[in-house]
Amino acid sequence: MNRNSRINWINRLLLPLLNVLTAFIATAFVFVFIDVDPIEATEILLYGAFGYQEGIGYTLYYATNFIFTGLAVAVAFHAGLFNIGGEGQAYIGGLGTSLVILMIDPNTSPLIFISGSILGSLIFGGLWALIPAYLQAYRGSHIVITTIMFNFLASSLMVYLLVNVLRQTGQMTPESQLFPQNSWLPFIHNIAENIGFTIEESPLNISIFVALFFSILVWIFIWHTRWGYAIRATGLNSTAALYAGIKPKRIIILSMCISGALAGLVGINELAGYQHRLIMDFHFGYGFGGIAVALMGRNHPIGIIIAAILFGILYQGGAELAFEMDNISRDIIVVMQALIILFCGALQYMYRPWLIRILAPIEKAS
């Protein structure tokens, strides 16, 4: 193996693995600090995530959300843009899902409902990202600032809509009416039952296939189309992109809209897939989690799927942990997430100089 391919392996595989491992070791120290046996905690966590069918269902259900938001962050990142507005885009995407479902006649066939709700979340999420994209491209407002502000705008807008517009008369809770049954995305346990298997009930629904489908789509788009080529060229070397005749403003608009649309898909998994009505804060944490997922997954769909599953494990296993141990609350997930973001994001190159020095030293010129 020559030096370049060794460095490639270090960057792609060894480094993320070591970073995750470090985060887990750090978590173990936290556990020891709060008087929890880290080995026992790990056992509970893994059992919660994988030990029984319902647990696996939950793990994959959470992972689905993280795949959507992870892909969203990755697409923008390839264009050199840091979209931290996944929260807002997911929230508004859910609004799109709900509006489409509530507007269609309840007796319409499920197929139209499904494609309609997917389209609704894509369009609403994409449009919500279009505004910051436009402001960045044509007015020079920094995308990081605008997208984070748009998270708050989304949040306020949704409160307003849920309380004043979508709430049913006579109801106290700020939520929409129940979606018609034809619009519900099939649960995996129901599908399994139809073909003769029985598995435990869980919120896992066919959105996970939508997520895998979009992962493939993103992979094709970024690496196998001329638009993806233009996006990557702009992100890696904007001067060369200008030289090539690529228009940076268009790239900003294009990549941000795609990014927002992908984040918007969280709406179908959460609302059309499980809650079956529009509720408040269904998106909470997935937008920001997507940043960590994309970072860990090196902005590649395969990496993102793996990282999303890891985050699904943390979510589901963490809940189990909080349930089983009385000196741990559900917030432990946030701590573990934070450590993963710290080591995989902020400190992602910490081991690189050492690894390169040991495994791929500069070859002496002969």
Partner 1 sequence: MQKHIYAIELKDIDKRFGPVNANNKVCLQVEKGSIHGIIGENGAGKSTLMSILYGFYLADSGEIKVFGKQYKFKDSHQAIKSGIGMVHQHFMLVDNFTVLENVILGSEGGALLHDGLTAARKELTRLGEEYGLKVDLDATIDSLSVGSQQRVEILKALYKGAKILILDEPTGVLTPQEAQDLFRIFIALKKEGVTIILITHKLHEILNVTDNVSVMRGGEMVAHRETSNTNREELAQLMVGRKVLFKVDKLKKDIGEVLLKVSNLSIRDKNNTYRLRDVSFDVHAGEIVGIAGVSGNGQSALLESLSGIIPVSEGYIEVLGHRMDSDNLIYPDKLREYGLSHVPEDRQRMGLISEFTASETSIIGYHNDKTINSRVILNNTKVKSNCGSLMADFDVRPNNPKLQSESFSGGNQQKLILAREFNRDPKILLIGQPTRGVDIGAIEFIHKRIIAMRDSGKAVLLVSVELEEIMSISDRIVVLCDGQVSGRIDSKDANERTLGLMMANAFNTSDNIEPLTT
327 contacts partner 1 (rule: CB under 8 A): no
Out of 21, 236, 302, 346, the residue judged to bind partner 1 by CB under 8 A: 236
Q: Which residues, in sequence order, are bridge partners of residue 205?
A: 187
245 contacts partner 1 (rule: CB under 8 A): yes
Taking the complex as a whole, the smallest distance from the CB of residue 233 to partner 1 amounts, in Å, to 6
Per the CB < 8 A criterion, the answer to whether 85 and 151 are in contact is yes
Out of 24, 134, 229, 284, the residue judged to bind partner 1 by CB under 8 A: 229
- Token pair belonging to 98: 């709900």
Residue with tokens 């197929």: 111
CB closer to partner 1, 268 vs 360: 360
Count of residues near partner 1 by CB under 8 A: 21
Radius of gyration, CA atoms only, the chain: 22
Q: Which residues, in sequence order, are bridge partners of residue 187?
A: 205
DSSP 8-state class, residue 69 = H
Q: Residue 312: which residues within 8 A CB-CB, separation 6 or more?
A: 49, 58, 59, 60, 61, 62, 63, 64, 66
Taking the complex as a whole, the smallest distance from the CB of residue 234 to partner 1 amounts, in Å, to 10
Per the CB < 8 A criterion, the answer to whether 294 and 155 are in contact is no
CB closer to partner 1, 246 vs 322: 246
Contacts (CB under 8 A) with partner 1, residues 208-227? 220, 223-226
Distance in angstroms (rounded) separating the CA atoms of residues 226 and 162: 41
Taking the complex as a whole, the smallest distance from the CB of residue 359 to partner 1 amounts, in Å, to 17
CA distances from 339 to 20, 335, 347 (A): 9, 6, 10
Taking the complex as a whole, the smallest distance from the CB of residue 146 to partner 1 amounts, in Å, to 24
Taking the complex as a whole, the smallest distance from the CB of residue 32 to partner 1 amounts, in Å, to 40
346 contacts partner 1 (rule: CB under 8 A): no
Stretch that binds partner 1, among 101-109, 194-202, 230-238, 260-268 (CB under 8 A): 230-238
Contacts (CB under 8 A) with partner 1, residues 4-23? 4
Site mask for partner 1 (CB under 8 A), range 151-170, x = bound = --------------------
The sign of the dihedral angle between the CA atoms of 32, 36, 42, 48 is negative
3-class secondary structure, 34: coil
Out of 29, 138, 152, 243, the residue judged to bind partner 1 by CB under 8 A: 243
Taking the complex as a whole, the smallest distance from the CB of residue 217 to partner 1 amounts, in Å, to 11
115 contacts partner 1 (rule: CB under 8 A): no
CA distances from 258 to 41, 97, 251, 280 (A): 39, 17, 11, 24
242 contacts partner 1 (rule: CB under 8 A): yes
- Footprint on this chain of partner 1 (rule: CB under 8 A): 4, 220, 223-226, 228-230, 232-233, 236-237, 239-240, 242-247
